[in-house]
Amino acid sequence: MAADGQEKAAGFTMGLTYAAGALGIGLGFSTAFSSAPDLRWACFFAVGLAGILSFVRHALLNRGDAARMGWDNGRVNPFQVEVGLANLAWGALAVVAVALSWGLAVYAALFLVFGFYMAFVTAFKALRSSSGHPEEWRTVAPAGAFAALLIVIGSAGMSALP
């Protein structure tokens, strides 16, 4: 697939990632602060599906995703593929955890892992933006908001543990 076709596919996959993340965050907030929170399906969507879709975008559609972000160097960037594999690791773990009903502690921990990752990504984007890459500013607020929401839900889940 040519880079321009990949860029469209990466953009579409990014939209699906946003939708999965939003659904998971919505499900998480609907239960996280209840007396008996159940983050199972929230974890499946916000961490599992969003992580797997991020893998597809970063690793399988890497040239198009790089072009979408304004980082295309004309070739495959192995580090971007590694980032995709990290996304796949927690995404796959979240799907397995949900399938095997591993419980609130694991779901909450997965929210926290993804949340801390996104917080560090946000910090990186802000630093990069302030040092000559102003195109990054457009992604700082959404990434930061997603990070904060993941961390709040994960923390609420951990706080509910006996």
pLDDT in tens, 50-65: 999 999 999 999 988 8
pLDDT tier for residue 37 given thresholds of 50, 70 and 90: very high
pLDDT of residue 100: 98
pLDDT of 87 over the 80 cut: yes
pTM of the predicted model, to two decimals? 0.92
Instruction: Please give the full DSSP string across 63-79, using - where no structure is assigned.
Output: HHHHHHHT---SS--HH
Nearest to 151 by CA among 118, 102, 104, 103: 118
Q: Residue 155: is its pLDDT beyond 80? A: yes
Q: What confidence score (pLDDT) does residue 3 get?
A: 61
> Which of 71 and 116 is assigned the larger pLDDT?
116
